[in-house]
Amino acid sequence: MSRQLSQTEIDAVFQNMQDRKREAPAVKFDFRRPDRIPKSQVRAIHLLHDTFVRNLVSSLSAYLRSYLTVNLVSVEQLSYAEFLDGLPSPTCMISLGLNPYDGNGVMELNPSLVFPILEMLLGGTGKTSTTIQRDVTEIEQKLLDGLFRIILNDLREAWKGVTMVEFTIEAMETEPQLLHILAPNEAVVSIGIEIRIGETVGMMNIAMPSIVIKMMRQKFDQQWSVRKTHASEAEQMRILRFLREGMLQAEARLEGPTLTIRDLLDLKEGHLLTFDYAADRSIELLVNGVHKFTAQVVSTGRKRACQIEQIRRTPGQRINDEGAGAAG
């Protein structure tokens, strides 16, 4: 049976299709906002600041002579206006020079950290019962110069893995809205770091212009490509120099029969204890608790020593067994 659709029915079909299209959400494109950097580069910046945080723990602990913890909380892309809106007021902010790149970054240290740190620098404990909300004075800014130099030095060392950036202090401000170094709509990469000193907790926030980081894209790509290759001979020698400073614990052990605590307590004068260890039998030489060598007990003058007979090989290890060493 054949049936022909009327014009009303045809219009209804097309109307339903248009309604389905309208259901898809539409997002307006903001042409005033610069392009964002790719997610792979954001992940690289996250790893880079993980290194920065680890170095900062030891540096600040030594400088403040107090135990503290530092955690990387977030790495995200925001507009400069959004970054400033998330900061307390008043606070302690510095404008960062990024030589040799054009542009400026921002570093902010919460007042909840600034005043306890100032007290510690002046010989106090840093334990304050009240939260101080006021501007940092010029004298206090001078006291904080040493702290910021240590932070920027660790930041420079962390970025050295990608590119050389000389972070310098160009200005200091207490009101976030008065630091007009970037346009409000300019995109920045915001790095949030939590610092805990005893019971005191606060944030340190860093903002770097996305346009500057985009200029370093080739540097980031080179960094990851180098990581995929084998270390050069010069790099191996550098690591070996560091390892030579390390300390290992060597232990010569005569492994024989075991004895229970009960039998040990029952030993009396005149009892004979048999070790059952032949004089010419090799002994086990352990390095940090791991069996690494077999050796013989020898004497060198008035000292006893171990002459290495054999090196115990681990799977996949290639060792030249020619010659023997001695451990005193």
Segments of the chain assigned to CATH 2.30.330.10 = 247-327
d(CA 53, CA 72) in angstroms, rounded, equals: 7
Of the candidates 304, 303, 299, 295, the residue with the CA atom closest to the CA atom of residue 325:
295
Please list, in sequence order, all residues whose beta carbon lies within 8 angstroms of the beta carbon of residue 210, skipping any fewer than 6 positions away.
34, 35, 36, 37, 77, 186, 187, 188, 189
pTM over 0.85: no
- For domain 247-327, give the CATH number: 2.30.330.10
d(CA 206, CA 250) in angstroms, rounded, equals: 47
When mean pLDDT is compared across 56-60, 233-237, 262-266, the lowest value belongs to: 233-237
Strands 326-327 and 104-109: unpaired
Q: Indicate the pLDDT class of residue 17, thresholds 50, 70 and 90.
A: low
Percentage with pLDDT > 70 across the chain = 81
Burial class (CB in 10 A: 0-12, 13-18, 19+), 196: middle
- DSSP letters of 213-258? HHHTHHHHHHHHHHHHSPPPHHHHHHHHHHHTT----EEEE-----
- Domain 39-229, CATH number (from 3.40.190.10, 3.30.420.40, 3.90.190.10, 3.40.1550.10): 3.40.1550.10
When mean pLDDT is compared across 49-63, 165-179, 212-226, 267-281, the lowest value belongs to: 212-226
pLDDT at 281: 79
Specify the DSSP class assigned to residue 178. G
Please list, in sequence order, all residues whose beta carbon lies within 8 angstroms of the beta carbon of residue 291, skipping any fewer than 6 positions away.
284, 285, 312
Please list, in sequence order, all residues whose beta carbon lies within 8 angstroms of the beta carbon of residue 248, skipping any fewer than 6 positions away.
287, 288
